[in-house]
A = this chain, B = another copy of it.
């Protein structure tokens, strides 16, 4: 976004008066960026149409001329965030690898926008074509490998649940599991925590990779491409 140079060679943020919004500022991209900024800095409850209008320097009524509701703004935010999820592997690389890329990018994107997790996890997807296209890619990937149709959506939802939970965990303090004064009463857990720390690997990344591997093995089979077991009969 360029700002006009001031006479002294510096830059000035153009001031806007309520009721005279600049259309250049009030397009969907700018509204989405401002909304994402509010959520990231102050948490989801801070995102109101009034706060968003203030952030954009326009009146609420001017904002409503461009976004019909907070729900619509949320859908734009969802579209923006989901654009960081990599669904390109399906149909191009082995299914296990495509799912792994998808899951890693999905978790990384939401770890960066953790306040959105509880919101997006329960947001209807009909308003987000990008999210729907992503689901179609994953569904095609599973279907092509012979998965029974009724198992496809539960598998996607199970993976998403793990991804959302892991994205939350990625934002937890490093010492979240430290037992503090209780360590001596918890010898096995305290020892396990110490052993994990001694590996030097990041605890959230290690848990995510272990869980993702386990989930994919459980869903697809032993882990070799072409040996997926999703083709087995669904439970009666």
Query: Which A residues lie at the B interface, using CB under 8 A?
Result: 43, 45, 114-115, 117-118, 121-127, 129, 132-133, 135-136, 138-140, 143, 148-155, 157-166, 168-169, 171-173, 175-182, 185-189, 191-196, 198-199, 203-204, 206-208, 210-211, 213-219
Contacts and interface: CB of A to CB of B under 8 A. Distances in A.
Given A169-B121, A188-B139, A192-B153, A219 B208 contact: no
B158 A189 contact: no
A196 B198 CA distance: 45
Where chain A touches its partner, the secondary structure class is: helix
A132 B189 contact: yes
Nearest to A204: B157
A173 B172 CA distance: 27
Nearest to A134: B189
A158 B196 contact: no
A210 B139 CA distance: 16
A150 B199 contact: yes
Copy number in this complex?
2
A172 to B, nearest CB: 4
A122 B203 CA distance: 13
Contact of A218 (B125, B173, B203, B217): B217
Given A122-B168, A136-B185, A143-B188, 9 more contacts: A125-B177, A133-B186, A149-B196, A150-B198, A152-B195, A157-B204, A161-B208, A165-B166, A214-B218
Nearest to A168: B121
A155 B192 CA distance: 11
Contact of A210 (B158, B173, B180): B158
